[in-house]
Amino acid sequence: MFGVHERFDVPRPPAVLMKGSTAGSRRGRRAVIAKKSGAAATSDTVVMTELLVLIAQHRDKDAFSRLFAHYAPRIKSYLMRQGANQASAEELSQEAMVSVWRKADRFDPTKASAGTWIFTVARNLRIDALRKERRPNFDPEDPAFVPEAETSPDRAVEVGETQVKIKAAIAELPEEQAEVIRLSFYQDKPHGEIAEELDLPLGTVKSRLRLAMRRLRLALGEEQ
Amino acid sequence: MNASHHPSDDLLWSYAAGSLDEPSSILIATHLSLCPACRAVVAKAEGMGGELFENSGTADIDAGSLDAVLARLDETEEAPRIALETVGEEAESVSVPRPLKDYLPGSIPSLSWRWLGPGVHYTAIKTEARGPKVGLLRIAPGTKVPMHGHSGNEMTMVLAGGYTDATGNYQRGDVEAADDGLVHQPVADAGEECLCLVVTEGELQPTGMIAKVLQPFFRF
Ligand SMILES: [Zn+2]
C-alpha cells in the first residue's frame, strides 16, 4: 500500500500521450479513448477519495481547497443544467461544499468514490432547494436496517476498479442509450417527460435504460 | 429474511438520479433499508451518475467563492440528528424503517386510521410533494380486499404480515407494482395483521359486487 502523500503526487500522463489515434474505425477509436480516460480517472479518483478521507479524519483545509477546486465547478454546472440560474447555482454550490465538509465523516470509501458521493450530496441538495421536496434516504444506523451479508477487506480498491469499469462502459454505450442516461441523471425529469422530449414511446426510453443497465452489469462481470 | 419481490430497475435508477417523486421515493428508500440487493443496484446507478458528474462539464465559480466557503467551515455544525427513540417507541409493534418513520407523527397504532371496509383501514401520509398519494393500509388476518382495478400505477410494500394475490405471496420487504389495467384481489395471510405501505397514482376502481358498495371508501 502506498502512503497517502506519495499517492497525491501521481503525475498525470503528458498531454501528448492522451490524444487518441486519428486512424481506425469509430468503434476502435472509442475504445482507445475509453482506455486512456480510464487511466486518468484512476489517479483522479484515488486522489480525490484520499483528499476526502483527509478532510474526514483530520479536518484538513488544504485538502478541502483542492477538493473544492475540482468539484465546485462541477456542482455548479450540474445545478445549472438542472435549471438553476447562475446566482442560485453559485450559492448552492457553496452550500454543497460546506455540506461536504460537515458530512465528510459519513463518506465511506468502501462504498463509493469521492465523485459519486459528492454527486449524491449535490443531488440531495438540489431536490431540497430546487424541487422543494424532502429526499427520503435509508440510514445504516437505523435499527430496522438489514445489512449486507459481508464485505470483503479490499472493498476500497474494488470501488476504484468499479468506477473505472463504469467509465469504460459509458464510453462504449451506443449514443441512443447514452442520451437517455444523460437526460435521466441531468434533468429533473421523469422518464415519461424524457420520452416526450425525445419524441419516443415511454417503452422505448425504458428499454434503452434497461439495455444500458444490462451493459453496465456485463461490464462489471455480473451477468453472462 | 430478505425480500424476494423487488421494485423495477427503472424505479431504482430514477431514485438514484433524483428524478423520482417524493411519495414513491419513500417506498423505495424503505425497501432499500431492508434489501441489500437493491442497494447494490442503486449504488451502481449512482456510480454512473458520479461518472457523468465528473465528466459532464464545469461552470466558472465566482472569484471569492472558496474564501467564502472556507470562512464558514468553523461555524457551528448542524445539530446532531434527533435520536430515533423519541416518538412512541414503547407502543411500536412493527419495526418501521427510518425513511418511513420520519414521515409518521407517532407509532403505527396511534395514527388516525380510517375504516375502508370490513377488516381494512387506511391512513394517509402527508408530504408537501407533487405526485402520487402515499399511505398505510392495515388488513386483518385472512381478509379478502375487495377486487379492484387501477386507473394509474400502484405500488405496495409489505411491512408486517403478508398477503397473496394471483401474482404471488408477499412478505415483509416485498414490493408489488400493479400497472394500469391490472385487476387483483389480495388476501391477507392468516395469523398476523398485514401492514402495507401503498403509493397510488390515480384512483382505485373497485370492480367486484361488494367493492361497488364500498366504492366511496376507496377514494383515498
Ligand atoms: Zn430489493
Q: Domain holding A213: CATH number? A: 1.10.10.10
- Taking the CA of residue B159 and the nearest CA in chain A, the distance in Å comes to 11
End of a domain among A81, A114, A136?
Answer: A136
- Reported as a single tens digit per residue, the pLDDT across A31-47 is 333 334 444 556 688 89
- pLDDT-derived band at B81 (thresholds 50, 70, 90) equals low
Q: How far apart are the first and last CA of chain B?
A: 31
Residue A163 confidence class, pLDDT cut points 50, 70, 90: confident
Nearest CA in chain B to A55: B73
Q: Is the pLDDT of residue A224 over 70?
A: no
Residues of A in contact with B180 (CB under 8 A): none
Residues of A (192-211) whose Cβ lies below 8 Å from B = 206, 209-210
Q: Do B66 and A65 touch (CB under 8 A)?
A: yes
In a domain, A201, yes or no: yes
Domain ranges of chain B: 104-213
Phi-psi region of B101 (alpha: psi -120 to 50; beta: other; left: phi over 0): alpha
Considering chain B, what is the average pLDDT of its residues?
84
State how many domains chain A has: 2
Q: Which domain holds residue A206?
A: 173-224
Would you state the pLDDT for residue A15?
A: 34
**pLDDT reading at B84 higher than 60:** no
Least CB–CB distance from A191: residue in B10, B26, B36: B10
Chain A 139-158, CB below 8 Å of chain B: which residues? 139, 142-149
Question: Quick check: is A164 in a domain?
Answer: no
Q: Among A136, A157, A184, which residue terminates a domain?
A: A136
Q: How far apart are CA A142 and CA A117, in angstroms?
A: 20
Is the model's pLDDT at B37 over the cut of 80? yes
| A124 located within any domain | yes
pLDDT digits (tens, 9 = 90+) for B116-168: 888 999 999 998 887 788 999 999 999 988 766 666 678 999 999 999 988 89
pLDDT over 80 at B204, yes or no: no
- Name the pTM for this structure: 0.81
CATH superfamily, with its number, for domain B104-213: Jelly Rolls (2.60.120.10)
The ipTM value here is 0.84
Nearest to B33 by CA among B109, B105, B133, B100: B100
Q: Do B78 and A190 touch (CB under 8 A)?
A: no
Locus of grid cell 412478505? B171
Q: Which of A106-110, A181-185, B60-64 has the highest mean pLDDT?
A: B60-64
Chain A residues 122-141 with a CB less than 8 Å from chain B: 122-124, 126-127, 132-139
**A132 contacts on B by Cβ (under 8 Å):** 128
Q: What was the pLDDT predicted at A167?
A: 86
| Whole-number pLDDT of residue A10 | 35
Structural domain includes residue A143: no
